[in-house]
A and B are shown apart, each in its own frame.
Chain A
Amino acid sequence: MTSPVYVLGGYQTDFARNWSKERKHIVAMMREAVLGALADARVEPEEVQTAHVGNFAAELYAKQGHLGAFFVEIDPAFRGIPTARHEAACASGSIAILAATAEIEAGRYDVAVVVGVEQMKSVSSTEGGDFLGTAAWYDREAKGIEFPFPKLFGRLGDEYDARYGLDDKHLAAISALNYDNARRNPKAQTRTWYMNEAHAMCRTNDNPAVGGRIRIADCSQVTDGAAAIVLVSPAFAARWAARAGVAIDAIPTVLGWGHATAPILFSDKVAESRGGQYVLPHVRRTVVDAFRRAGLPDVSGIQGIETHDCFTTSEYMAIDHFGITAPGESWKAVEDGTITPTGRTPINPSGGLIGAGHPVGATGVRQVLDAHRQVTGTAGDMQIGGARRFATLNIGGSGTTSVSFVVGFAG
């Protein structure tokens, strides 16, 4: 990066909450996350200069657009600041972060708040599934189909199966690991749920199929939640470090980023990659770009990953696309414990989208926040020992918009 962007802190709401049952407006969720983030980062509302909101579909779920304006409703000190709302399906949060980092790098502003937010429990699961279908090419891939996305990501599994072979027991193990990790995350949606590998493998009505080989245990959750982070320029970071009594070197930065957009139709993606090593080459490019910009040779330069496990097949895909294994050999990392919290490259110590929950527009921000917690040693029971650098991977649609960040310390 041209000029480093520092991450001072952030906040995540409890993803187990149901804000419709609490009868709250989406601004309440934004407010808790943003004020929590400022408190955590020890930054005053008056110091915020710009704000970016990541959100997928508040128009549909909450009948409310123009979320950038609602940032100003959070605190009187925010009146007048520039705000914007960003949408890229499940990657909305990361796109909002990219916009904020670009502004800081360009020298326009010194202090940015990014908040990702989604309220999803306001509608039935089938209606919500239909809304999510707008993240695909709705007319061609989702219209009139019940739960289109499990079916699309079931096809991702089928593609792996056709090219390399895929055993569903490895998908069940990915599910069980995310649920297990979520038990150590006090903000995870499923932290109290009953789940184990045998259940994830069970083929009964307690774990019904929802899209080809995708069963309920393979799915991420319908979640209400928000996450916010505070990003600052080197000049502000220096002032902040002085007043906080810490060395500026002790503040993590966004070391690298990758961002790519693939054809929106899943069939086009698969057709494009046929004969290649990677099933979703644009996702691979996103990860490689992030490592390159962070000055890292490959995955050996990071100590853990928060990835986009909207379904077990997406995490299975992420394993080889991150280069943890050779293409098609993700199962090896599942079997040998590489991705467990004590393994070589832990994935989703938070529980990920399956365990921690997936408030669509918040996920990318939540991932960077969890990465920040890991590299600052403040992840509590989720802490990965010796974490200096963490990577994220946030995916919108069926592998369409991909964003990856590397957060932590150089050298």
Chain B
Amino acid sequence: MVDSAPRPRQLRHVVVLGANGTMGFGSGALFTRAVPKVTFLARTRDKAAEGLAAAIRQVRSPTVADRVEVGSYSEDLERALADADLVFEAVTEQLDLKHEFFARIDAARRPDAIVATVTSGLSIDALAAPRSESFRRHFLGLHFFNPPNVITGTELVPGCDTDPAIVDFVETFAARELGRAMVRTLDAPGFAGNRVGFQLLNEVAQLAEEHGPSLMDTLVGRYTGRALPPLATIDLVGWDIHRAIVDNIHALCPADERRDTLALPPYMARLMASGTLGSKSGRGFFARDGKRKLALDPRTGDYTPIDELPKPEGVEFIRDVTELHRVGRYADAMACFAAARGPMAALAQRVIAGYIAYAYARVGEVTETIDGIDRIMGFGFNWAPPSVLLDVLGPEATIGMVKAAGLEVPDALAAAAALPAPRFRDAGVDVGKFFVAA
């Protein structure tokens, strides 16, 4: 790790590009926890100052300002780079724009300076390709999740030319000094978290066309192992962000065995054209009319108060599962889930089995082992990691659910099922926290 690096490396100055954006100021605030000087850069000095103000608001500490300087790309970038140990790029997710900045960074950076990008969708190797050898050796993806002061899961994505000592250094620094739960991923579309997470989210969005958002968020609700139901999550993330992520994965993963579930539902594209973007636009799958919660009808685009929707039938099993969660009997609860019968139960089981199978099928493609996927789903999404579900459900019920859903049992899942429990071994994690009694 750090000890084996040729000389001790320290981060005394971090330069953040795109510091007025959500990921920019959030990450910038995070760096001030451990780095004495952080430069916030944006198009103008005023925009950078707005980023600093937002950073202070996010972590609720005026002391952030003690460690931050602000500046603009035109006046301050090269000067700041001359003294930067780490350059953190968080500009808009456009390849040409990022290339433009990386060219300037390549020309002005110190030869030992690390360059990290917060990209969630672009390929690390594609971003690095036009750059100098020194740049490529010091370049990697460092994908924080929003908001980084709350969500600790972080993906670390080396490119094919990244110096392994740099990868080790950033991993140790982020874990020890920034309190990150680090996951090394391969340079695959969506990396690990978004690839696995948005498969489930988008499949639920597809199913909402027939069943409605309220029923789908009930069926794949928090009791299935998540802090927030799927469609409420898409509303929070923003429909436009959701589209960018699934479109990217859909386009770049033609051989994906669940590619059909990664196609954006046409109704979402249609409604986005008229301004439906989720919570930030005031309406998404859900909206509010005063105190009343409304649900979208995907087929008409209209909203109906949830309490006026017909009571769904065949969902009584959810009450039994949540009552067992409520008293901490998680294995009994999930056994009850797996044993539930009827079309509604089958639909919920299909999505959960799909999540487990899809995650295990990604082993070797997005991370080396299931551990990385487990960590990013747990620490990045606040979802029960696939190994936790396998542990809690047991191998027989898990495999049975996957087969009943008409899905292939991936080799990695079959291998994990043959291992003794617990397969999820992270001493710092209470697995019970993933199962919400609602």
Contact = CB atoms under 8 A, between A and B. Distances in A.
A22 B63 contact: no
B433 A17 contact: yes
Interface stretch (A163-171, A188-196, A259-267): A188-196
Q: Number of contact residues on A: which range applies?
A: 20 to 34
A236 to B, nearest CB: 25
B270 interface: no
Chain B interface helix/strand/loop/mixed: loop
A183 interface: yes
A183 B179 contact: yes
Nearest to B175: A381
Interface in B3-48: 29, 33
A29 to B, nearest CB: 7
A32 B432 contact: yes
Nearest to A21: B436
A77 interface: no
A184 to B, nearest CB: 8
A204 interface: yes
A31 B327 contact: yes
A191 B179 CA distance: 7
Nearest to B57: A206
B430 A28 contact: no
Contacts of B322: 23
A11 to B, nearest CB: 9
Contacts of B407: none
Interface string A175-211: 0000000010011000110111011001010100000
B222 to A, nearest CB: 8
A202 B62 contact: yes
Contacts, number: 78
Contacts of A199: 61-63
Contacts of B433: 14, 17, 22
B328 interface: yes
B152 interface: yes
Contact of B149 (A27, A194, A196): A194
Given A22-B437, A198-B63, A206-B60, A186 B326 contact: no
B107 interface: no
A146 interface: no
Contacts of B96: none
Interface string A14-25: 100100011111
A360 B435 CA distance: 24
A23 B326 contact: yes
A192 B149 contact: yes
A144 B365 CA distance: 61
A74 B33 CA distance: 41
Interface string B37-71: 00000000000000000000001111110100000
A317 B59 CA distance: 30
A31 B430 CA distance: 12
Interface in A19-47: 21-25, 27-32, 36
B61 A206 contact: yes
A198 B66 contact: yes
A73 interface: yes
B427 interface: yes
Contacts of B126: none
Nearest to B29: A194
B62 A204 contact: yes
A17 B430 CA distance: 9
Contacts of A21: 436
B137 interface: no
Contacts of B437: 22-24
A36 B422 CA distance: 13
A29 B329 CA distance: 11
Nearest to B437: A23
A73 B436 CA distance: 20
A25 B435 CA distance: 13
Nearest to A34: B328
Nearest to B430: A14
Contacts of A183: 179
Interface in B136-160: 149-150, 152
B428 interface: yes
Contact of B436 (A22, A31, A196): A22
A28 B60 contact: no
A32 B152 CA distance: 23
B427 A186 contact: yes
A6 to B, nearest CB: 22
B165 interface: no
B429 A14 contact: yes
A196 B430 contact: no
A305 B74 CA distance: 54
Contact of B328 (A27, A194, A380): A27
A357 B63 CA distance: 23
Contact of B60 (A73, A194, A198): A194
Contact of B326 (A17, A25, A30): A25
Contacts of A30: 328
A26 to B, nearest CB: 10
Given A14-B433, A25-B326, A192 B179 contact: yes
Contact of A194 (B33, B66, B432): B33
A13 interface: yes
Interface in B322-346: 322, 325-329
Interface in B386-435: 427-430, 432-433, 435
Interface string B56-97: 000111111010000000000000000000000000000000
7 contacts: A13-B430, A22-B435, A23-B325, A32-B328, A32-B430, A186-B427, A198-B63
Interface of A: 13-14, 17, 21-25, 27-32, 36, 73, 183, 186-187, 191-192, 194-196, 198-199, 202, 204, 206, 380
Given A36-B430, A192-B149, 9 more contacts: A14-B433, A17-B430, A21-B436, A28-B326, A29-B328, A30-B328, A186-B427, A192-B152, A204-B62
List 4 A-B pairs, minimum CB-CB distance, nearest first: A186-B428, A28-B328, A194-B59, A31-B328
